[in-house]
Amino acid sequence: MFEFTDDCLIGVNQIDEEHKGLFRLIGEMYELAESEWINDKYDRLCAMLARLKNYADEHFRHEEEYMEQIGHPELELQKKQHLEFDRKITEADAIIDGQNPDELLRDLLIYLVRWLYRHIIGSDLMIGKMISVEEWKKKSYAFTEKYLTGIELIDEEHRELFRIINNVHDVLANEFLADKYDEIVRLLEELRTYTKVHFKDEEEYMERIGYAGIEAQKTAHDIFTTRLDKMDLSEIDENQQETLEELMVFLTEWLINHILQMDKRIGAQAQ
């Protein structure tokens, strides 16, 4: 049930292997939860929780060391997310005594799988792919042939996303425009609105063709729209250039990698 799929590959061998290890541990916990032959699961559950916590702690340390080594801009955010996962495991271990192991295990598994998918697809996929603000300013965001999925509707909507991104890029790179706030807010709202329309259309298409990776796609879409919805416009107004540049580096690079790594697979299945 809990399989590590290609949608979770980030392209860094050690991190990918450790993610597979996390999924294996969760799979073992699921087998324990579903077993009809083991009546007293308490000791096994305690041991599994300890193994999972130790493995996750080691993995997070390796991941953070790698991110620090490459100067990944979202290291601090990743550390917060890792602490959230660790707290959940610690809380489960603390309340396990006197609880129904089956019930606790099911609740924990639901949380772990959702957290892992969201974390890997929403954050880890960008490890090693983020560029500096200076690189971003020099980069061209033209929609080229390499982004084509072969699905006319999706390709046309991707073209429109690139158009909006280019407009934001041009405003931010304009050194002669002093107050960019109103224009950027307008463009970000346009991006937020159009992205939701595009994701809806894309998901409806995947449902029609019975696309196998639709759940991972929905998770990725939800993460991206949530990131847009949680923008603090008051913070942007106070520190326009720096805040907007960092935000747009993430949004543009995330979209590009999402198209190249996930959306192109839709076209491959549709053919």
Q: Give the residue among 210, 196, 124, 123 at the shortest CA–CA distance from 157.
A: 196
Domain membership of residue 77 (yes or no) is yes
188 and 229 together in one domain = yes
Same domain, 101 and 66: yes
Q: Which pLDDT does position 97 carry in this prediction?
A: 58
Rounded to 10 deg, the angle between the 181-209 and 214-229 helix axes is 160
Looking at the fold, whether 229 and 162 belong to one and the same domain comes out as yes
Last residue of a domain, one of 126, 145, 163: 126
* Residue linked to tokens 């959940």: 88
Decide which of 105, 126, 147 is a domain's last residue: 126
- Residue 156 shares a structural domain with residue 202: yes
- Tens digit of pLDDT at every position of the chain (271 positions): 567 888 888 889 999 999 999 999 988 888 887 777 776 777 787 888 889 999 999 999 999 999 999 888 788 889 999 999 998 888 776 666 555 666 777 778 888 888 888 899 888 988 888 888 888 888 888 899 999 999 999 999 999 999 998 888 888 777 766 667 778 788 888 998 999 999 999 999 999 999 988 988 998 899 888 888 877 666 665 666 777 777 788 888 888 889 988 899 898 876 6
234 and 117 belong to one structural domain: no
Q: How far apart are CA 254 and CA 115, in angstroms?
A: 19
Has residue 1 been placed in a domain? no
- Residue 266: exposure state from Cβ atoms within 10 A (0-12, 13-18, ≥19): buried
Domain span at residue 156 reads 133-270
For residue 260, give the CATH number of its domain: 1.20.120.50
Same domain, 143 and 171: yes
Quick one: 26 and 78 in the same domain? yes
Task: Report residue 243 as tokens.
Answer: 């805040």
Q: Which string of b and e fits 160-173 if b means at least 16 CB within 10 Å?
A: bbbebbebbbebbe
Distance CA 140, CA 129 (A): 16
- Residue 103, amino acid: E
Residue type, 96: I
Overall number of domains in the chain: 2
Nearest CA-CA partner of 169 in 185, 184, 156: 184
